[in-house]
Amino acid sequence: MSGETILKVVKLNKSFGGLKATNDVDYEMTTSELSAIIGPNGAGKSTFFNLLTGYHKVDSGEVYYKGRDITNWPPHKVARLGITRAFQVSNIYPALTTYENIRQAILTKQNRTLNFFTPAERLAKKDTLELLEITGLSQNTNMIAGNLSQGDKKRLELAIALGSKPQMVFLDEPTAGMSGEETRETMKLVERLNKEMGLTILFTEHDMSVVFGYARRLTVLHQGTIIAEGTPEEVRANERAQKIYLGEET
């Protein structure tokens, strides 16, 4: 499977008022890739994810998933194709329990949400418990999600994205607000999902040790434009990237 193009973005543009948030971006991913997009705040990383998942309408350009033009598809259709995302600021169901949060994604994937009469608690038990286990949320199964710690909310965020059994996941700063230990665990999980389940994963991250430790390909975004791309070593050696971004970090 590996090596085939799964995502292809052609000359993508998006402006907000006078601000060019995405400027002629070309991008490609192959199946089972684990890559990162980096760039300073306001570089257009989140906007890029929003355009790919249909949250914002593109001004011009095209998005192809497995050769299919999905430009400007609504979010729910993009999700049904097998593309999900986890958000930077945890975006969960605060009044439902951890278990119910994850079950919702799984029931949706199983096309059971138009079932009116089977009590939900009888459905998708095995899959939900399994995902709780994988993401390390088992102790918090019955906790109201709004009361979870910041790190656990981010984990739940990831679990919801995985509940849809996606083939491709966008993770917007998956370890933001986590302790060092939590960050390592989460990134190990991300790596496992990529290696063992063949998930294609694209993430953004502020923590450079995370980026260089896990991403196999890096793309540097600055003011909506791609200024560098390549393996971590290549990007590290790229002068322009260093000046704009990496220089700030060290």
Partner 1 sequence: MKKYWWLGLVFIGAVILPLVIGEFWVHVAVEILIMGLFAVSFNMIFGYMGQLSFGHAAFYGVGAYATGILLVKASVPLPICLVASMIAAGICALIFGYFCVRLTGIYFAILTLAFGQLMYYIIFQWYSFTGGDDGLQGIVPPDFLFGATNYYYFTLGIVTAALIAMWYISRSPFGYTMRAIRDNADRTKFVGINVRKYMLINFVVAAMFAGLAGGLLGPFNRSIAPDLCNWHQSGIPVFMTVIGGPLGFLGPMIGSVIYTFLMAFVTGFTEYWPMVIGLIIILVVLFIPGGVLGLVEAKAEIFRSKHMASGAEESGHTESP
Q: Which positions lie near partner 1, rule CB under 8 A?
A: 53, 55, 74-76, 79-80, 84-85, 87, 91-97, 100, 103-105, 107-109, 112-121, 123, 142-144, 160, 163-164
Minimum distance of partner 1 from residue 233's CB (angstroms): 34
* Tokens of residue 140, six digits: 């918090």
CA–CA separation, 156 vs 176, rounded Å? 13
Minimum distance of partner 1 from residue 129's CB (angstroms): 14
Instruction: Please say which residue, 26 or 121, places its beta carbon nearer to partner 1.
Output: 121
Minimum distance of partner 1 from residue 119's CB (angstroms): 5
Instruction: Please say which residue, 76 or 196, places its beta carbon nearer to partner 1.
Output: 76
Instruction: Please say which residue, 92 or 132, places its beta carbon nearer to partner 1.
Output: 92
Minimum distance of partner 1 from residue 238's CB (angstroms): 33
* Tokens of residue 207, six digits: 């923590």
Minimum distance of partner 1 from residue 198's CB (angstroms): 20
- Residue 143 contacts by C-beta under 8 Å, 6 or more apart in sequence? 97, 98
Q: For residue 51, give Cα distances in angstroms to 73, 209, 222, 250.
A: 10, 27, 17, 31
Instruction: Please say which residue, 145 or 190, places its beta carbon nearer to partner 1.
Output: 145
- Residue 151 contacts by C-beta under 8 Å, 6 or more apart in sequence? 177, 178, 179, 182
Sign of the alpha-carbon torsion through 46, 79, 217, 69:
negative
Minimum distance of partner 1 from residue 202's CB (angstroms): 15
3-state helix, strand, coil in the chain (%, to 5): 40, 25, 35
Instruction: Please say which residue, 22 or 101, places its beta carbon nearer to partner 1.
Output: 101
- The CA angle 128-80-126, to the nearest 5 degrees, is 15
Instruction: Please say which residue, 143 or 208, places its beta carbon nearer to partner 1.
Output: 143
